[in-house]
C-alpha cells in the first residue's frame, strides 16, 4: 500500500509544528502475525464489549469503518472519519502531551500505527493501532463525546507545564518502547521503570499540564460512564485491552463518581488501575473540564499565572487587557501589591493580537527579548488603554512628544514617542519610543543605546498560556522525541512462522477447504513451540471443516501448552471460546 501521507481538508489546516510528528502508514509493514493479533483482540473485544461498553462503541465501529478481520488503513479511515468531521494521522509512539492535545483541538485523532507483539496481546504500555484505532476512533462517532475531545484538546494544549513534565514524558515514552521491544534485557526495563517511578515520586506541585493529563487519563483513556453501581466502558485504554476491560468490572477496582478531584489523582501506566472514575453522561465531562479551565492561568492570568509561565522555562504567552499577546520565554517579573508590574522575556519574542502576529513585531524585531510595564500610571485612575484622544492630549501622550510615564509600583518610562498602534476597538496597545530609558528605582531596564523601545499597553494580565499566540511566529519543528520505537526483528525462524500464518489467513479469507492443515501444524509444533495463536486459528478452520481428528490432536497440544506456560492459558481459552461460542450461536 502507498507509504505516502494522503491529506484532506482537515489535515491541510494543521500547522507545520504538528506535521513534524506525522509519519506515513506503510500498510505493507503489517505482517500476517500482526493481522492475527489484531483479529484476535478485536473478536474478543467485540464479543465482550457488546455487553459492557457504552452503546456508542459498537455503533462507532460501523461508522468509522473499522473491521474486525483487518488492521485498518489510515486512508480508508480518513475518508469515513471526514464524514463526522474528524481525521486521523499516524505517529511514532507517544508524542508530547501538548502536541497530542493540539491535534485533538484540530479534530485530528493521533494513531500510533505500530501494533503490539503477540506476547503483549492483552496489554501494552506502548500506544499502538489497537489502542488508538480500536479504542479511540469508535467513540468519537458519538457527537457529544467528540466535542468533549476537541474541547479538551483546545484547553489542554494551553496548559502550563513544569520542567519535570517533559522529563516524565520522555521517561514514559522510553519505558513504553523498551517494554514493547523484543528481547529487551530485564535490567534495561528495570532501569526505565525506576526512572519513571523516581519522577512520579518527585514531581513536586502538580503543574496544569500534569493535572489535565490526569483528567485525560481518567476520562479519555480509562473512563467509565453510567452509575457507580452499573458502569459502562468508554475509555480507549479499557476498550483496547482485553485484560483490563474484564478486570475493571470486578469488585477489585474501586468505582468513584467523576469530579474535578481526578485532576490530582496520578496514575501508573505499568500497572492495572486500582480505581476508575464514572461520569453520569458525556455532557458532564464538559462541565468538569470547564470547572478545571476556570482555575487555569489561561483564564485567571495575573501574577500567579505569570510566575507559573516563568517557572516552566518554556515558550508561552501573556495576554494583556487590551488583547495584546506577548509570546516568548519569560524570564522575570517585577511585582507590586500582588500584581505584575513589569514582565521580561529572554530571546526571540513576538507580539500578536487575536492570535495573529502584528506586522513589524515578530522575532526579527525582538530577537533578544522584550520587556514592558503593566498597569496604571501613578495617581491617575484612567488607564492608558481607556484614554480618549482628549485624555491622551492632556497627559502629553502624543507622537513626537517627550514624555515621562510613571507607573504604579515605581516603573518609569521616559522618551520621545514615535507612534502608537491600536486594536480594533481603538485602544492603544503599543507605544513606540526613541531615546528611551526604563527604570525601576535604581535598576535600569532599558536604555537609549539599545535602540527603539516598544512598550506594551495593558492595565492587567488577563491570560497566560503555553505556546505561541500565533503558531507561525516561531519555528517549532525541532521538538521531536529523543527516542525511537524499535521494530520487530527479522529472522529465518520468524519469516517461516509468518508464512504459516499467511497460509492459514489465505485459506480462511478465500474459504479454500483444500489447504492441507496437518503439515502446517507439524511445522508449528516442530519449529515454533512457543506460538499458540496459529494453533487456535487452525482449530477455527478445522471446526468449520468438521475435521475432528486433527482438531482433537491440536486441542490436546494446546492443553499441554497451557500447563507448561500458564501465563497464556487464559488467552488460549478465550480464543477457543470465540470459536465454539460462535458455533453454538449459529
Q: Residues annotated in the binding site, as ranges?
A: 131, 136, 221
Q: Is the sign of the CA dihedral 22, 27, 28, 34 positive or negative?
A: positive
Cβ distance 428 to 422 under 8 Å? yes
**Which of 493, 523, 520, 527 shows the shortest CA–CA distance to 506?**
520
**Which of 501, 545, 547, 541 shows the shortest CA–CA distance to 520?**
501
Query: Quick one: three-class SS letters along 475-531?
Result: CCCCCCCCCCCCCCCCCHHHHHHHHHHHHHHHHHHHCCCCCCCHHHHHHHHHHCCCC
Label residue 233 exposed, middle or buried (CB < 10 Å: 0-12, 13-18, 19+): buried
Q: How far apart are CA 127 and CA 585, in angstroms?
A: 34
Residue 335 in grid coordinates: 511585582
Query: Quick one: three-class SS letters along 298-367?
Result: HHHCHHHHHHHHHHHCCEEEEEECCCEEEEEEEEEEEEECCEEEEEEEEEEEEEEECCEECCCCCCCCCC
Determine how many CB atoms are found less than 10 A away from the CB of residue 300.
17
Q: How far apart are CA 328 and CA 367, in angstroms?
A: 10
Question: Residues within the annotated binding site for Fe cation?
Answer: 131, 136, 221
Helix (H, G, I), strand (E, B) or coil at 413: strand
**Which of 228, 40, 161, 19 shows the shortest CA–CA distance to 466?**
161
Residue 517 in grid coordinates: 492443515
**Which of 462, 370, 482, 471 shows the shortest CA–CA distance to 157?**
471
Amino acid at each position: 500500500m502507498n507509504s505516502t501521507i494522503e491529506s484532506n481538508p482537515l489535515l491541510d489546516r494543521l500547522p507545520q509544528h504538528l506535521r513534524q510528528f506525522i509519519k506515513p502508514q506503510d500498510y505493507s509493514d503489517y505482517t500476517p502475525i500482526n493481522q492475527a493479533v489484531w483479529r484476535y483482540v478485536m473478536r474478543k473485544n467485540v464479543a465482550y464489549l457488546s455487553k459492557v461498553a457504552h452503546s456508542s462503541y459498537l455503533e462507532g465501529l460501523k461508522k468509522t469503518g473499522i473491521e474486525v478481520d483487518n488492521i485498518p488503513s489510515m486512508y480508508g479511515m480518513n475518508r469515513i472519519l471526514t464524514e463526522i468531521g474528524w481525521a486521523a494521522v499516524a505517529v511514532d509512539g507517544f508524542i508530547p502531551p501538548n502536541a497530542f492535545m493540539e491535534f485533538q483541538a484540530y479534530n485530528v485523532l493521533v494513531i500510533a500505527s505500530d501494533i503490539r507483539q503477540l506476547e503483549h496481546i492483552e496489554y501494552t504500555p506502548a500506544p499502538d493501532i489497537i489502542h488508538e484505532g480500536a479504542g479511540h476512533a469508535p467513540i468519537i462517532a458519538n457527537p457529544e463525546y467528540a466535542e468533549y475531545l476537541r474541547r479538551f484538546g483546545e484547553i489542554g494544549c494551553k496548559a502550563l507545564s513544569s520542567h519535570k513534565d517533559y522529563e516524565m514524558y520522555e521517561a514514559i515514552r522510553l519505558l513504553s518502547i523498551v517494554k514493547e521491544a523484543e528481547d529487551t534485557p530485564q535490567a534495561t526495563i528495570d532501569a526505565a521503570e525506576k526512572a519513571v517511578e523516581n519522577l512520579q515520586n518527585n514531581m513536586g506541585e502538580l503543574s496544569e499540564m500534569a493535572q489535565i493529563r490526569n483528567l485525560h487519563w481518567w476520562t479519555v483513556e480509562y473512563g467509565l460512564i453510567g452509575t457507580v453501581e452499573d458502569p459502562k466502558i468508554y475509555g480507549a485504554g479499557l476498550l483496547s485491552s482485553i485484560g483490563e476491560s474484564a478486570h475493571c468490572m470486578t469488585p477489585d477496582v474501586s468505582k468513584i463518581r467523576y469530579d474535578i478531584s481526578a485532576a490530582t489523582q496520578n496514575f501508573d501506566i505499568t500497572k492495572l488501575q486500582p480505581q476508575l472514575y464514572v461520569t453520569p453522561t458525556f455532557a458532564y465531562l464538559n462541565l468538569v473540564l470547564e470547572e478545571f479551565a476556570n482555575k487555569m492561568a489561561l483564564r485567571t492570568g495575573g501574577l500567579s499565572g505569570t510566575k507559573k509561565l516563568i517557572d516552566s522555562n518554556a515558550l508561552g504567552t501573556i495576554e494583556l487587557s487590551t488583547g495584546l499577546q506577548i509570546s516568548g520565554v519569560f524570564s522575570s517579573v517585577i511585582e507590586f501589591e500582588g500584581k505584575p508590574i513589569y514582565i521580561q522575556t529572554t530571546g526571540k519574542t513576538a507580539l500578536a493580537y487575536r492570535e495573529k502576529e502584528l506586522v513589524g513585531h515578530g522575532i526579527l524585531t525582538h530577537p533578544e527579548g522584550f520587556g514592558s510595564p503593566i498597569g496604571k500610571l501613578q495617581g491617575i485612575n484612567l488607564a492608558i488603554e481607556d484614554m480618549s484622544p482628549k485624555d491622551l492630549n492632556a497627559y502629553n501622550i502624543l507622537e513626537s512628544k517627550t514624555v515621562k510615564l510613571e507607573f504604579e509600583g515605581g516603573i518609569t518610562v521616559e522618551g520621545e514617542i514615535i507612534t502608537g498602534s491600536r486594536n480594533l476597538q481603538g485602544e492603544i496597545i503599543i507605544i513606540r519610543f526613541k531615546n528611551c530609558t526604563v527604570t525601576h528605582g535604581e535598576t535600569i531596564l532599558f536604555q537609549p543605546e539599545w535602540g527603539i523601545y516598544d512598550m506594551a499597553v495593558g492595565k492587567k494580565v488577563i491570560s497566560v498560556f503555553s505556546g505561541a499566540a500565533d503558531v507561525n511566529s516561531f519555528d517549532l519543528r525541532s521538538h521531536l522525541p529523543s527516542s525511537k520505537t524499535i521494530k520487530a526483528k527479522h529472522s529465518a525462524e520468524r519469516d517461516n512462522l509468518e508464512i504459516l500464518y499467511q497460509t492459514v489467513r489465505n485459506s480462511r479469507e478465500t474459504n479454500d477447504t483444500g489447504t492441507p492443515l496437518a503439515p502446517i501444524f507439524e511445522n508449528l509444533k516442530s519449529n515454533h513451540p512457543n506460538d499458540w495463536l496459529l494453533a487456535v486459528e487452525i482449530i477455527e478452520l478445522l471446526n468449520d471443516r468438521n475435521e475432528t481428528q486433527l482438531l482433537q490432536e491440536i486441542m490436546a497440544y494446546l492443553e499441554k501448552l497451557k500447563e507448561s506456560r500458564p501465563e497464556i492459558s487464559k488467552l488460549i481459552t478465550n480464543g477457543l471460546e470465540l470459536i465454539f461460542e460462535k458455533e453454538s450461536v449459529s
